[in-house]
Every structure is written in C-alpha cells, then in structure tokens.
Amino acid sequence: MTIPVQPPEAGLTRPASLLQAARLPQWLLPPDWPQRELQPALADIGICGRRIVAVTPHRSADVEHPESRWQLHGALVTPCFVDAHTHLDKAYTSSRLHDAGPGLLAAIDAMAKDRSRWSTNDLRERMSRGLEAAWRNGTSHIRTHIDWAEGPEPPLAWHVIRELGQEWSSRLSVEQVSLVKLPVFADFERADRLAWHVASTGPSAILGAFVHSSNWNALALENLFRAAQRHGLDVDLHVDEELNPGACGLVTAARIVRETGFSGRVVCGHACSLAALDDDTASQVLDALSDLPFTLVALPTTNLMLQDAVTGRTPGRRGLTRVHEARARGIPVLFASDNVQDPFCRLGTFDLPEVMTVGTLVAQLPRPFDAWSDSICRSDWLGRGVPPKRAGLVGQPADLVVFPHSDCWSWPSNTAQRTVLRAGQRL
C-alpha cells in the first residue's frame, strides 16, 4: 500500500462497483479525513476492473450509479494481509511428532527427526494446504522460511516452494527465505556460493540465517551481508530468538549494515532478547536501528509457546520483542504467523487476525484496528527503499477483507466470519 487515499484523478476510470459506508482504519486515511464523533467518517470505495479507483467520505445521497453496490453499514474493512514470517515446510507435522520437549532447541531436534519424511509429495501437500488456508483467510502476500542444510545446494523444499509460488502467482505473492545456520557463512566462498543459489531462484528469494547465541559467529554474519550485497539480495534473519540478554545478533547486524552501507532491506524476526534487556540498553539497540533499513517481525504465538519453557513450570516471561518502542522510533513492525501446527507451535491456522488477537493481548496494544492493523497489511515494509509514512488504497488491487461482526473497539475479536474480496470479487 503506497498510494495516498484520494478521490478519482484524471485518467482514472469511474467506479463500476461501490462499497458503501465502509469503516477503514485510521492509518489508511489522510490526516484531513473528516471525523464523526471522534472516529473517522465512513468511506465509499469505488472499484473498476480489478482495482480501487476512489476512496471518498460516505455520502448517503446517490451521486453516481455504479453497476453494483454493497452497503456495508459501517463494517470494518482492511486491505488483504501480508504474512511476513512463516514456515510452510514445517507446517502440519505436529500430529507426527508427539515427543517434542519444551523450548526452541528441543523443537529444532524434534523437527530434524521428521525431515526424512519430506518427500516431494509430502512437502507439496502440506505447503499447498498452508497456502490455501492463508489465501482463504485473506492473505495476499506470504513469506516462508525454508530449512537449508549446511551445504550450498538448495534443499528439496526450496524447489517445491518455488514451483508452488509460480502456480499460485495469480492469487498469492509467495517469497522464500533460506534458513541457514549462521556458522555455514563462516567461509566466504561457501557463503557466496549459497547466496548465488538464492539469487538464481529469482526476485522472490531472500538470503537468511538462524542467528542465536548457541551458534554465534560475528565473521559469519559479516560474510552473510557481504554475499547478499554482492548478489543484490535482501536479508531476513531469525535473530536473538532467546531470552538471553547477552545475545548480540541484532545489534551486530545493525553495526555491519551501517559500516558496509548495505543497500537491501533487513527483516529481523523474533528479537526476543530485547525483552530481556533493561530499558536503557534496549533503547540503545533500537536507536541503532532507527535510521537503517530494518523491519522487525513479532511472532507472538510461537514465542509464547517456546520462550521461558520448562516442563511443569508456568512461564514468567512473555518473550515478545519490544514492539511499542520500535514503532515509536519509526521502525516498521509486522506481526506474523510463524509456525503452524508443528513442534515449534502446535496451534495456528495461517489466520492473521487470530495472530493479532494474541499480539494485542500479550503486547497490550491500544486501538488495534486503527493504530496496529497496518502490522498485518503493510507488505511494503518488506521491500527495499524508504516506505511511505502513510499508505492508501487508490490504484491498488481491490483485494479487501470485510469484517461484518466486529467493531473498532473489539477488533480483532469476532473476525472469524469475514468476506474476502479478490480483484473486487467475493470469494
């Protein structure tokens, strides 16, 4: 979403269909949008062909006579969603793995035992199920991390998701990230070869790594960024996924980007260790990111399941990264599904309003519809360049989600029943 909300301009077609009296979130509206009882006025959304051609304050009088009209009576409407961090290769394996112990490293071990079952048919079936669920729930852009062994050659799942991404390209934008253990990048020639394979996949591929205190290697992280820069790749890291205040992946990544002038987008998932730092130290880390091309992705469901996990003891720490403090510094913050029905998280349905329900509670988010729903809608926060401060609908595909039974005070509650529009047509 990059174009300001505005009425039709010269050259834009008049609406052929109209969504009347929609309640859009405040972040999607211009500063001078009219208010009604301290709330944004309802909007009329004009659609022609497959795109939105006008967003204007609702008028009860009939001014134009489009071919079709849908009176929403104030129902909430958002753009379709971006699921910025998932694991389609692992999804729907929990029924096969009953003995995973508590915590992140135990889940990694359990997942490794299942990998022998990952045939082409198994991967296609489970990944397709995940894509179908995401699409029907209202997602239009999904990014999946793919486990990558220590060799430079891509794994089977990498090829399968590339094929599925092409098959789904008319419905979903599918991106794939190499999830590689950080020490693999310790040798630059090896790192460069791996980055070459990622770049050869095409523009939907991103270079990534698992960066944790258990495998920490500063030189390897530097080599990762050097290789990404050399091959024109963005970077997406699993970083500091632990409640260890000594974890230093995020702050080191910021130093490397600053010193090297890395030109791509750096997406950092988890960053749980920020929650273990004192306020002053956490502020220093976030200050170091604030003028760099970083995006943070918060993953409330998996982090709540894994962090501070000890058998027989109620966890005392939430493990969610500092989303309020990051946003206050202008750092883009997204929420995402992460693991779905696998050893890392036994729950989940690739449903982002469901994720936001958990995120709203655990992060105590104020005004989640008006102020925070952008954190599941702003796909431009994953791309290169400086994203606009305000987003809009005009000129964008008519991919929308209507929530007829929720309201701006209770959203994302009561969102299970929704209507998804793709290119202006209801699913």
- pLDDT mean over 329-347: 96
* Residue bearing the bigger pLDDT, 30 or 67: 30
Q: Residue 58 has what pLDDT? A: 94
Share of residues in the chain with pLDDT > 90 (%)? 81
Q: How confident is the model at residue 15 (pLDDT cuts 50, 70, 90)?
A: confident
Residue 125: active-site member: no
Q: pTM for the complete prediction?
A: 0.94
Per-residue pLDDT at 240 exceeds 70: yes
Min mean pLDDT across 74-78, 109-113, 357-361 is at 109-113
* Residue bearing the bigger pLDDT, 45 or 153: 45
Instruction: Classify the phi-psi angles of 289: left when phi > 0, otherwise alpha if psi is within -120 to 50, otherwise beta.
Output: alpha
Q: Residue 5 has what pLDDT? A: 41
pLDDT in tens, 224-238: 999 999 999 999 999
Give yes or no for a contact between 236 and 206, defined as CB atoms under 8 angstroms apart.
yes
- pLDDT mean over 57-64: 72
Distance CA 1, CA 123 (A): 32
pLDDT in tens, 259-287: 999 999 999 999 999 999 999 999 999 99
Q: How confident is the model at residue 427 (pLDDT cuts 50, 70, 90)?
A: confident
Per-residue pLDDT at 64 exceeds 80: no
Residue of 175, 241, 242, 354 marked active site = 241
Phi and psi at residue 32, to the nearest 5°:
-95, 15
Secondary structure element (H or E) that encloses residue 105, with its range? helix 104-114
pLDDT in tens, 377-419: 999 999 998 888 888 999 999 999 999 999 999 999 999 999 9
Domains and CATH numbers, the chain: 17-80+390-426 (2.30.40.10), 81-376 (3.20.20.140)
